[in-house]
Amino acid sequence: MQIVAKDIARTFGSTRALSGVSITLDPGKVHALVGENGAGKSTLLKILAGAEQPDTGSMTLAGEPYAPRSLAEATRRGVRLVFQEITINPSLSVAENIFAGQLARFRRGGLLSQSALRREAQALLDTLSADISVSQPLARLDLGQWKCIEVARALSTGPRAVLFDESTAFLNHREVDRLLAAMQALKAQGLVVAFVSHHLAEIGAVADRLTILKDGRKVGDFEAGELDRDGIQSRMVGRDLSKGLFPPRASRVAGEPVIRFDAVACDGLLPSSLSVRAGEILGIAGLKGAGGERILEVAAGAVQPRAGTLDLGGAPMRARLPADAWNRGVAYVPGERNTEGLIVDASVLDNLVMARPPRRGPFFDRQGARDLANALIRRLLIKTSSEKARTGSLSGGNLQKVVLGKCLATDPRVLLLNNPTRGVDVGARAEIYRSLREAAEAGLAILLASEDLNELIGLSDRIVVMRERRVAAVIDDPAGTTEDIIIRHMT
């Protein structure tokens, strides 16, 4: 079964999301959609899956006209979409999640046949080689396994095509491997498989073909191996990134410690010690639950230590609330930008200045706020029509730049970063890395927790590796290490 889309166009208000895009998806092939945030990748995938409808253009499915008006209609035609967001219901069992909305199939005399339900659910999981048992509690499974359950759910309706919309965005490297293996299993079954990803390593691992989009238009279709990493990146962003994503590290020695943990412990963190110096980017590597995120939360005042001491600038830091940490010069970029870092319905200006609103005497300084917001927009290369634009109208990379700008607007002493480029395209990522290195060179102490090991190696001056809720290793020369070495320390 082949899916063919021709001259697809889609507009949202004044924004042209897609303009005359054509694509062909073949069975038994993995097709990657690549481009910057706002390039139109997800919109195209959602149109193919019935979640959005095109303004113009046409589609065929196995040679027959195809114009689904909903996800349900696309499902009936054999096309399923796996979303970026986790859609697992933790109050249900593994089997019940797989057949959610279809449990009536397993009713026998008015009662749910658990044996039949579990048997068919296990059979679907086994086709993915997911190593998941329907008897396992969901709480004991990682996010990659949850994603595999969502793939099994998609397979439960007997689809001929499965489409993945940035489904690896919130997964760590192990979880990503599970999902990529599931894609390969679907390919082996002869299904159409297409996915959106910002990570070129994922594309190189599984894609047979790729389509590159930029600003809503198709740049081109390419076979696997036809372009190298630099060739893909330059076509995505429209400029040369062959010199690499990461700015050079500072040659000077970092300054005195700005923030220091001495045997700090709390729920989720065993006694751990580390320090971050002025002008230094200290990376934190580790699996989910290993303690890295807890270190950020303690420094941010969101979690209270029950043992050890935390010093800021040589003086004890006792932040009972996040506001206390902000007032002491500790700014935090959280892992979930839309719900924790931004008010998406507020303007770009309001978000940029909310942490420290400019004042003239006791009054809000409107002109000062405009000047500050526009200075940050220029500094961080935030793509927005104006500082008055609704923040939620921005692409993912620009949303993350607004969160970063909000933090930098406070002129902090310490910047805490929780996966700052998650779901961000390569062009915006390079700009964020540049801004962070410039801030460090100006004397800012940066504590960076990331599940992207390549990011940690390329950006950090030192790396602390967490395992089982404590510091397991310190890597003083990230440039001389590899992802495999870090993984060995993590596991």
**Residues 417 and 383 reside in one and the same domain:** no
Is pLDDT at 178 greater than 90 in this prediction? Answer: no
Return the residue matching tokens 């927009």. Answer: 377
pTM: 0.72
Q: How many domains does the chain have?
A: 3
Q: Pull the structure tokens for residue 441.
A: 């060179």
DSSP 440-469: HHTT-EEEEE-S-HHHHHHH-SEEEEEETT
Burial code of 209-242, b = ≥16 C-beta within 10 A, e = fewer? bbbbbbebebbeebeeeebeeeebbbbbbeeebe
Q: Would you say residue 50 lies in a domain?
A: yes
Contact status, residue 161 vs residue 78, Cβ threshold 8 Å = yes
Please compute the mean of the pLDDT values over residues 96-102 and round it to a whole number.
Answer: 92
What single letter denotes the amino acid at residue 275?
S
**Residues 71 and 185 reside in one and the same domain:** yes
Q: Nearest-CA neighbor of 341 among 379, 300, 284, 285?
A: 300
Which domain does 432 fall in, by range? 246-329+412-490
Contact status, residue 408 vs residue 384, Cβ threshold 8 Å = no
**Residues 152 and 14 reside in one and the same domain:** yes
Q: Would you say residue 153 lies in a domain?
A: yes
Query: CA end-to-end span of the chain, whole Å?
Result: 42
Q: Which of 411, 433, 464 is the last residue of a domain?
A: 411
**Residues 311 and 346 reside in one and the same domain:** no
**Residues 399 and 443 reside in one and the same domain:** no
**Residues 309 and 416 reside in one and the same domain:** yes
Query: Tens digit of pLDDT for each residue in 457-489?
Result: 999 999 999 999 999 999 998 988 888 899 889
Residue 106 makes CB contacts below 8 A (sequence gap 6+) with 99, 112, 113, 114, 116, 117, 120
Q: Which of 359, 382, 411 is the last residue of a domain?
A: 411
**Residues 424 and 300 reside in one and the same domain:** yes
Please compute the mean of the pLDDT values over residues 43-72 and round it to a whole number.
Answer: 95
Backbone phi, psi, residue 80, to 5°: -120, 150
Query: Tens digit of pLDDT for each residue in 240-261?
Result: 555 567 888 876 666 789 999 9
Q: Would you say residue 335 lies in a domain?
A: no
Contact status, residue 466 vs residue 298, Cβ threshold 8 Å = no
**Mean pLDDT of all residues belonging to the chain:** 89
**Residues 20 and 41 reside in one and the same domain:** yes
Q: Would you say residue 105 lies in a domain?
A: yes
Mode of pairing for the β-strands spanning 269-277 and 414-418: unpaired
**Residues 203 and 124 reside in one and the same domain:** yes
Q: Which of 411, 439, 473 is the last residue of a domain?
A: 411
